[in-house]
Structure 1
Amino acid sequence: MVHKSLHNRKYTNLYAIGLSIFLFMLTLCLNLCKTIVCCSLLFTFLAFTINGITIVQGSKKAFSITLLCIGISFTLLYSKPYCIHGKPIDGIVLASYLSLWLASLVGVKAFLKLRPYYSFPVSNGISLGIYALVDGLAMSVFFTAKFPISRVLLIAYKEIQYKSIFSFFLCFTLFMIWYYKTFLERRFLMLSGFIRKAFFLKKAHKLIKGLL
């Protein structure tokens, strides 16, 4: 029993390490993208990965790992020039990572509150929507000092729209996997029950035949 527990813990730790490395790669690449579509796709997978770490390691470790990834990524990219449509934007790297940190705080708390009441795909889908909304609003506050309000609203609309679309497809895929996994498990249990019942009847038949 102890050996099995250690074996499971080993795989859990390996899974958490893999997710943490993947999270760092996504966090670093987030500010290397030049299009809203690409940033939105990376952000969606990033939020989903944070939720995955939360399940495996708990929210405190998920926050710590996320903060560590943000800190390292910011250190590597803080002096990198960033342009939108040819216009250099100062402070966007810091703003985007602060926005990500705020979105992760709100998103993870929402995810943990939803998990007891909804399935994994549904709770993920709702929390990813919250991630997108918080990040979109936070970045809009930053962009108000850089662009006209009409441009800011357009950027926020596109960001939230793309993130919502990617979140929907990701969670729909999760739901299909979860549904068919549950369906196959039930079918397997039913088949196992029929096999056990048939074996029992056959054994009982032989016993009765031997007595007669």
Structure 2
Amino acid sequence: MSASLIKRLPEGRAGQVLAVGMTLAALGLVWSGCVAPLTGLFAAREAARADQAGMLAHMQMIAADLPSLRRIAREAKADRTTGSASALIPGATDAIAAANLQNALQDLAAGSGVLPSSVEVLPALQRGAFRRIGLQIEATTTWPILISLMKAINDSALGLVVDDLSLHALSDGSKGNGIDASHPALDASFMVFAFRAGTEAGDHALTRSVAVMTNPAN
């Protein structure tokens, strides 16, 4: 600052005010140019450290829960395997599986109050890696009792499937088979299917093996 400019600066109270203003302006420049950026940088670093600490705590919590999560996954897989196996009708051959299906259906029908008038074994069919075992059922019943049987079949652990349901209303005088007189009688006809693991070739091989065992001379 030149001497002439200094001489022109105000003195006294005005000079003090000007000096204070210039000092504050200089401090503002220093703050905006140096201190504020450094403060922002430190705040950003602290926020990053807080995020890292939170992430670390979250990962540690997951690591602590990992053994229990693996155990739950193993148990769920075992339950699915057991459930899939139990949804198949037992039986090494189609004939055995059909007999088991008949027994299971008779139990369900008896529990629902249905007495089948006819049970016919349907030809087994290959469906992928499974054999479809079927029964043709005919019964005289009422709508509430039939619904009870359908629900029991649907809730069965054997994975039973009902198909081709046909209903025929009987006249008021055509009652029988323990039909409740308060409900119209129905002739019901439907198919029930179950599945067993195996193939037709395996079924024939087992049948031939049994035949050889029962006829040692051959």
Please indicate the TM-score interval, normalised by the length of the shorter structure.
under 0.3
| Structure with larger Rg | 2
TM-score by length of 2: 0.25
- What is the TM-score of this pair, normalised by structure 1? 0.25
Specify which structure has the higher proportion of strand.
2
